[in-house]
Structure 1
């Protein structure tokens, strides 16, 4: 076995250990959180062997999650989302304004420049914000990356704890999650060759989406392909639980490898900054979720996961386990991602360039 093959096997074993450990202690979403935490700890504690998760492996997990999420969409749910478009615009803009206010406060308290904190605080835009930071003078890319990744990890870890806490329904939420998981996963009978057509089209849409630089292409591409096939009358088949767990495992391992605190300067200040910013964003999302439930007849869990400042794949996985309305969760997350991808970068560039011109001598 090659060195990379051994490291991949080692990483997958870490993920499996983390998944079973978190399942044993009854943690929510164990096959996402367990591999993430164990991989992060092992990468810092065991220096001789570095975990590795090739992009192709992570993308395979994303395709499975995208397909599973796409199964939740029907013609009726899409019509319902169309009726909620004004609310999507309103809540997304309010969340981004909240991010801007939090960035201003954190920048004032910490002394870190406002543009750097703002680009590290924009929710759900890790790839876009890091790429944009590289194009703008005066932005600390290391701080932006750390803020984005640490916020994402906080969301992945704390959102499930909140969703399954008494504040969000407690045991009732877990019972609903168990019923939803049973309904959304199935055995191997009848899966082949029915699923092959979906697999081919989902992979094709993911690759094409990546080529045209579509945001989160390996999640959105398969999701769109599945929705189109379902609307055409070709119903999808739920995947076995072991496949869903495996997809969460590789995503959790990949996220656990992203954070590299040793590359960060002034670690304590930035860690406190990231934690403070993440907590404020979660509180902002909870407040907007209350408004969401007043505007539409959705559960608090659905509203919160639709507005939580995380990624679509993580919120989709948590939503499936928590019994939330996946179509609403993903559509709100998708709208915010597209809004950030299309509207926020040019707006931020214009604002930061204007700030630089004002600071420069005549």
Structure 2
């Protein structure tokens, strides 16, 4: 289970949530996915910076303020999130705390029933809690274990990028789409950063965002399918 969740190219928080529900090694999951994201977020923009004249330093994320969200919109987000979590938990979806609210709010926004965005203060608070929780998993880790895991994770990230690079050139050759747009869309991680770089380069951010959204959706549902079978196989073996 740990090996599979660590090999999934995306959905850091989702994989951690699923790993917690399936008793996976959260320490190794955290190190591997953190390393993957670090390598990708550092390498892809650096390559674009040296391959173009764009100043990537001007990328500034747009975020909703607390005052911009009405009480009605806030209640919709909260109720939908709670209902999504409850529904996912009832169905038995691993990582229900993230996947349930994500699917419920995503459906609500796609149907046009809600337009509110979560204020950045709550996003930062949630990331802080997740970061602290993940950091606690590193208690007792040895330098040798950390170094070996980071080395393996770095090699894995480079293999992912090599595969993404091959498909990037194939798509550019077949369609003529801007190579930077395709590279950002096919990057196996770092969705917010890739979207920001697309904005700075005056590329279509929707093209990049859609590819990353599809990647995450496929990963979430695919992981559920595989994990359920791995858990059952593990239970049969131990029983």
TM-score by length of 2: 0.65
The answer as to 2:220 corresponding to 1:341 is no
Q: Is the 8 A contact 1:195 1:236 kept in 2?
A: no
Match of 2:33 among 128, 152, 155: 152
Match of residue 221 from structure 1: 100
Q: Deviations over 1:22-57 (max 9, x none)?
A: xxxxxxxxxxxxxxxxxxxxxxxxxxxxxxxxxxxx
Matched, 1:249 2:98: no
* Alignment partner, residue 202 of structure 2: none
Shift of 1:147: 4.4
Deviation track 1:83-132 (CA, whole Å, cap 9, x = no partner) reads xxxxxxxxxxxxxxxxxxxxxxxxxxxxxxxx996775354556667887
Q: What is the CA-CA distance between 1:205 and the residue it aligns to?
A: 0.4
Which structure has the bigger radius of gyration? 1
Aligned position for 2:83: 204
Alpha-carbon distance in 2 for matches of 1:189, 1:116: 41
Could you tell me which runs of 5 or more consecutive residues in structure 1 were left unpaired when the two chains were aligned: 1-114, 135-140, 309-314, 354-362
2:214 is the counterpart of 1:328: no
Alpha-carbon contact 2:76-2:114 (below 8 Å) kept: no
Q: Residues of 1 paired with 2:145 and 2:66: CA distance?
A: 51
Aligned to 1:121: 7
| 1:37 counterpart residue number | none
Distance in 1, Cα, partners of 2:182 & 2:117: 26
Kindly tell me: are residues 290 and 192 of structure 1, through their superposed partners in 2, closer, same or farther at Cα, counting changes over 3 Å? farther
Listed one character per residue, the Cα deviations across residues 205-224 of structure 1 (whole Å, up to 9, x for unaligned) are 02321332324333332232
CA–CA separation in structure 1 for the residues paired with 2:20 and 2:106: 30
Question: CA shift at 1:190, angstroms?
Answer: 4.7
The 1:327–1:118 alpha-carbon spacing in structure 2 relative to 1, beyond 3 Å, is: closer
- Distance, in Å, in 2 between the alignment partners of 1:186 and 1:216 is 28
State the partner residue of 2:166.
Answer: 287
Structure 2 counterpart of 1:237, from 105, 112, 116: 116
- What displacement does 1:195 show? 2.0
Aligned equivalents of 2:33, 2:105: Cα separation in 1: 27
Q: Distance in 1 between matches of 2:216 and 2:9?
A: 10
1:68 corresponds in structure 2 to none
Aligned residue runs from structure 1 range 78-227, under 5 A: 120-124=6-10, 147-167=28-48, 171-175=54-58, 177-178=59-60, 181-182=61-62, 184-186=63-65, 188-227=67-106
Change (3 A) 1:149 1:266: closer
Offset of residue 202 of structure 1: 1.5
> TM-score normalized by structure 1?
0.46
- Pairwise CA distance, 1:163: 4.2
Q: Which is worse superposed, 328-337 or 341-350?
A: 341-350
Separation (CA, whole Å) in 2 of partners of 1:148 and 1:203: 26
In structure 2, runs of 5+ residues without a counterpart are: 200-204
SS of the aligned residue for 2:71 comes to: coil
What residue in structure 1 maps to residue 185 of structure 2? 303
Larger displacement relative to structure 2 (194-203 or 287-296)? 287-296
